[in-house]
Amino acid sequence: MKSVYILIAPDKGTFSPAMHNAAFAALGLDFHYDVLPTPVDRLELALNHLRHADVAGANVTIPHKEAVLPYLDSLSDEAKAIGAVNTIVNRAGKLYGYNTDAQGFMRGLAACYALEQLPTSKVLILGAGGAARAILYALNEAQTGHMSIFNRTASKVEAIIQDLQLSNASLVDSTAIAQQHDVIINTTPIGSSDSSPSSSLIASADLPSHGVVCDIIYRPAETLLLQTARSKGLTTQNGLPMLLQQGALAFAMWTGQEAPLEIMQAALLETLT
């Protein structure tokens, strides 16, 4: 049997095991996906475990996505540019790091927005953490017309613009300009069940009258931001498509097989409800 792990802080939860184990079972693969609770000071030990022949690879999540970089043998161009890894593949004891969040987000977005429009679109990103970095990288690769970035800590936005060499991006100091955007993406925890379910970074009056609003939060399934946007007639998308698609891309790398998306989605929905 081949093992796949998710390296995660011991006090954090994840829905990925249900999604991947359902997919392995559906394709009759002798694989199993397990949580590997990993405190920060045990990260190197956990990574060494991944080098064993019976381990296919791993996901990496809070708070290790950036910290794993120095321990890996090779990084994809994407992971290197973003500065974060969410997927590791073990090839003959060598660890290869990838970032499937970027492409996963774009695959999700494609379901509700014609990506060919991006070069003439204005996109507003809320937040400047690891998820925002991956999404901005993907939007930049897609030659998005303009990216406005709003964040509590302005210096983090400046660092992202510099690190990713974003020539079509700017820091904005208020979400009151949301109306001028075609796509709005929340990457902060504001609105999540664990953080502040009754909060939103954008007031209803500041939302545009048409366009798409995405939230990478999937618990609750509809954040206050998405609820407000939907009631104004905007197209909305929660974080499930990104979670599903980043997982599907990782699954294909570990197994060499195309991921059974419907099975994975059903497993996620069942676990979330």
List contacts with ligand ATR (CB under 6 A): 127-132, 151-153, 156, 187-190
Nearer to ligand ATR by Cβ, of 151 and 238: the residue is 151
For residue 157, the minimal CB distance to ligand ATR (Å) is 8
* Closest C-alpha among 76, 80, 82 to residue 96: 76
For residue 77, the minimal CB distance to ligand ATR (Å) is 20
For residue 57, the minimal CB distance to ligand ATR (Å) is 20
**Packing angle between helix 240-255 and helix 101-109, nearest 10 degrees?**
130
Selecting among 65, 94, 122, 232, the annotated active-site residue is 65
| Positions of E strands within the chain | 2-8, 31-37, 55-60, 74-75, 87-91, 94-98, 122-126, 146-150, 169-172, 183-186, 212-215, 235-237
Nearer to ligand ATR by Cβ, of 130 and 211: the residue is 130
Nearer to ligand ATR by Cβ, of 12 and 80: the residue is 12
Nearer to ligand ATR by Cβ, of 97 and 260: the residue is 97
Given a contact cutoff of 8 angstroms between Cβ atoms, the answer to whether 172 and 148 are in contact is yes
Residue 232 falls in the annotated catalytic set = no
127 phi, psi to nearest 5 deg: 110, 155
For residue 262, the minimal CB distance to ligand ATR (Å) is 26
Q: Is 232 helix (H, G, I), strand (E, B) or coil?
A: coil
**Cα gap 191→199, rounded to integer Å:** 5
Residue nearest to ligand ATR (CB): 129
Q: What is the residue whose two structure tokens read 């991944």?
A: 50
For residue 135, the minimal CB distance to ligand ATR (Å) is 9
How far, in Å, are 71, 153, 177, 214, 264 from residue 157 at the CA level?
26, 7, 17, 19, 34
How would you classify the pairing of strands 169-172 and 146-150? parallel
* Closest C-alpha among 122, 42, 138 to residue 84: 138
Nearer to ligand ATR by Cβ, of 121 and 187: the residue is 187
Q: Which two tokens stand for residue 33?
A: 């996906």
Nearer to ligand ATR by Cβ, of 20 and 65: the residue is 65
For residue 268, the minimal CB distance to ligand ATR (Å) is 18
Q: Which residues are catalytic?
A: 65
